[in-house]
A and B are shown apart, each in its own frame.
Chain A
Amino acid sequence: MLFCIFARNHSKMQRGNTYTWTRLAFIFISGLVLLFLVAPLLGLFFSTSLPDLFQAAADVQVQQSIGLTLGVSALTTLIAAVFALPLAYLMARKDFRGKALLQGLIDIPIVLPHSAAGIAVLGCIARDSALGRLADLFGLNLVGSPFAIGMAMAFVSIPFLINSARDGFQAVPLRLEQAALTLGASPFRVFRQISLPLAKPSVLSGLVLMFARGMSEFGAVVIVAYYPMTTPVLIFDRFNSFGLGYARPVAVLFVIISVLVFIGLRLMGRTGKKNNDVIL
């Protein structure tokens, strides 16, 4: 199918007289990369029978884990947005000393090994930490709770929301915000009615990216909460305890859900995207 798309574009190129060997080589190499991405997923799908898939979908433990994963990730994303959007706006609009350092700090979770991120989050919520002791006063143990899962998900995925929203706010012309101020709007009203609606595609894209990244997190989550099991942990557990055949249907089910989220992300991100075609 991919090669059909390329062949169609190829004939268009010849008509447009922009055909070059460089472009042909690039198309071929790009095809190999796409094959590398698609082949394992197709292998996963073709080696799982429909009855196995339906059995996995009917499994209460699987259903509960998918519900937990999606629910915690969605709630975490919404709560994180309240904190991430003002920070993203400041990063887009203000110049201050130490801004580059702060940007590095925001990006740290992206470069950390996720198991190390899990250990870091565990240190914050363990019984001997300030937060852990506070929860203990109310008889709660944060480790192994949906709260711990949300913390781990947020820690590794919040940079995606902050960076995407920051890019969106940066693309809003400053003049529009200034015009609103001179018309009597308070800075918060300007943020709400001008900056946020105009940065909406990037903010939505960031929210979906954070949600998708959070729900697929394994390394950090497994350290703070093996139980209750999120779906990535459940897939690992079934693979570890019963083998590949038992883990695969759950994996396929979760891949389908992830792909649906991914399609949603691409559809939302498409609005306002510039054409970045370069003639090679």
Chain B
Amino acid sequence: MKRRDLIILAVVLVASLALYLLRPQAVTDQDATVYLRITVDGQTQELVALTEEREIRIEQENGDYNIVQIFPGGFRMAESNCTNQDCIHQGDVTVDNIGSRALANEIICLPHKLVLSLVTQEEAQQELAP
């Protein structure tokens, strides 16, 4: 390691720390209803209140599909016909674990351009407003 190698390393670590400290935190209002936002190709498709247990099938025109299991306060990706299955391995998103998940409030299926996000009531209302 030479001197400038260490400078590079220091810059990286400082930038990482800053992003880590600024990351989204757990939902503070535990009693309010939270929502699942389904986004395909950058467009919001659906906002679902996370109040009951059921499965949602997301089908795209080209045959890509994903099945999301929702439950009170959270959701998980149950099934996908994508190539890498990364979305399945990203586990559950719940109001409590956002602060400790690598992808915070999101599950992403990169090959299907699909983003599932857990959003608060205020965020959901903002989006529903015309």
A and B assemble together: no
